[in-house]
Structure 1
């Protein structure tokens, strides 16, 4: 990493903003009525691949922009995992996480600004909430917990391998591309039960926006589920990085 710590905090802010803007923007284009990705049918015509691409590029492009500056965590689970493994200073964990949450909130506000006419057209409260945060689609918080834990553990394990593998050390941009593809693949393969979140800031920040803004037909913000994407992803991130550390070192 390079630059001042303040510049790194800014990088985390803007990186998370882009992540949420691209990711939840793709969800909004798929789920809200009257969009180019949905038309007038009220169905997610954009499809799951449409959404996976949004989240994948939402991670890949900030990684290419800010990876050499801040490490492009854009995820409190990764920041805490790296600190727990001794490769990131604990004194900068809180500023990183604060920057990430503020970036997620700002990104979601931009999604609402752009799609406001379509929020007013949409009367399905679940579709509206999906453009902000994740949910336990099966009605099982336990299944949601295991889904987020396993998916985040895999994300961190693979990300460590990409950035620290011998081949990608020669070209960090290839590793950045790889992380984007990992996110896209996780959304496709393990995203069925919850979304998935993979990131406390990506879920809780927009959920706060959903709760505070007077969005028509929005329904409840599902606070009963809100801690699952926070706790499970943090635990999963720590597990993922320690499995990699024990097996391959850091």
Structure 2
């Protein structure tokens, strides 16, 4: 697989399983309805594991523009490949959201809560404060990318099982830092599905909350770049 195809497939799987677990917990009349935050965070961690494991040999399993930008800053990928990575990630995120909708179509029709519907596509703050929300997203992404950089360092003995510890980092971020904003920590994970929320026929669906949409894009990019800068200084 080339970079674009690998990132498209991997990100589609990430979103299908990640937003799929949110849909299972939040939408009406599902088997997992009201499963709670632990189910969501664990499901997202396994979504990361699946996406990264499948694509790591082909594109490095970035699945996240913040990761790609950090890797480009460190010279681990060429600047000319950044566009292929991000295009695959964005389209993959949109495809994954489409598949979640197809899987749970009947349950979207049975759900009146517009906030719950939006949550199956994109993140939102528990308390809306743009600066604090931005900082939270930056911190969460810093932890993700800082940890992933050490896992991929030459001294690491993780090897082909790198996907599992990355998934565990995401699980830790969700459990410990996910409360304020829902831990997007990935611009494509939030923006691609938000676009699909605006496009897809969900019945009564309410706003796509575009006024918040820049935070889960800019925050992760800032956090990822800071992680790359600190890593570069230490290693």
Q: For residue 174 of structure 1, report the CA deviation from its aligned partner.
A: 3.1
Q: Given the alignment of the two structures, is residue 110 of structure 1 paired with residue 99 of structure 2, yes or no?
A: yes
Distance 2:84 2:220 in 1: 19
Q: Are residue 241 (structure 1) and residue 225 (structure 2) matched?
A: no
Write the distance in 2 (CA, Å) between the matches of 1:118 and 1:88: 42
Aligned residues of 2:49 and 2:163 also touching (Cα < 8 A): yes
Structure 1: gaps of 5 or more residues: 1-5, 39-44
Distance 1:35 1:95 in 2: 37
Equivalent of residue 23 in structure 2, options 28, 51, 54 = 28
Matching of residues 1-250 of structure 1 within 5 Å: 7-38=2-33, 45-164=34-153, 166-168=155-157, 171-248=158-235
Structure 2: runs of 5+ lacking an equivalent: none
| 8 Å Cα contact 2:136-2:180 kept in structure 1 | yes
CA RMSD of aligned residues (A): 1.1
Distance 1:153 1:227 in 2: 17
Q: Secondary structure at the match of 2:62?
A: coil
- Give the 4+ runs in structure 1 shifted more than 3 A: none
Q: Is the 8 A contact 2:7 2:88 kept in 1?
A: yes
Please report the TM-score for the alignment, with normalisation by the length of structure 2. 0.97
Structure-1-length-normalised TM-score = 0.91
